[in-house]
Amino acid sequence: MSDRIYQGMTPEERLADRRERLIDAGFALYGTLGFTNTTIEKLCTIARISNRAFYECFATREELLEVIYHRCVEQSVQVASQAAAQAPRTLEGVLEAGIEAYIRFITDDPRRAQIMYVERARASAAYLAGTVQMNAAAFFQVTGADLDLPDTVDPGMAARGLNGAMESILLEWVTAEDPFPIEQVIASVKHVFLRALTA
């Protein structure tokens, strides 16, 4: 009986439940204590599971962070795409709506901003390789922004360059003792994007 249904859940459901609890615990701890100061013991205490159960869900703390980071990216890009879809169908309209929604969603919860722009850099590069590229390309794909670039310009490189500028601005906001007002952050990112794409 214990191999099938326990506390109303199948083994697969119990594993999925523990995994989600670890993701919630990781979001809370990585976003406050930071990756370096978060141990597996602390994660398991918050998730209310045994240390052994952690390894049934994730191989390492880095793998857990990777899952949390990708979820944050997917959620923020979805918010940006929804805002862009309702914006005037001009390059300026789509970008301004998408950028503002994206930044407000990330910064509304400081833990999300901390994970996306600080903690991922502290984890193993082997686990998080490719996340910057995904983040860069995803924004333009979901907003449907028509970049109308010259043939000599690679869209992926252009996207990564602009994404790098946005990351630099947001990283400064996250780590500052006295951060700029978020409206100024949004205005700065919009200015960089629009100057680059409409010059």
Write the DSSP assignment of 48-94 as a string of letters: T--HHHHHHH-SSHHHHHHHHHHHHHHHHHHHHHHHHHTS-SSHHHH
Q: Are residues 192 and 138 in the same domain?
A: yes
pLDDT of residue 94: 87
Helix extents (H) in 123-154? 125-128, 131-143
pTM listed for this prediction: 0.85
In CATH, what number is assigned to the domain containing residue 89? 1.10.357
Is residue 20 within a helix (H) or strand (E), and if so which, with residue range?
A: helix 11-30
Last residue of one domain, picked from the residues 37, 58, 79: 58
pLDDT tens track for 134-145:
555 566 665 555
* Count: domains in the chain: 2
The answer to whether 15 and 56 have CB atoms below 8 angstroms apart is yes
Report the share of the chain in percent with pLDDT over 90: 59
Instruction: Kindly state the average pLDDT of the residues 95-112.
Output: 94
Q: Output the pLDDT for position 136.
A: 55
Question: What's the whole-number mean pLDDT along residues 155-178?
Answer: 86
The residues facing 9 across adjacent strands are: 6
Rounded Cα distance between 159 and 135, Å, is 9
Residues 102, 167: one domain? yes
Do 100 and 176 fall into the same domain?
yes
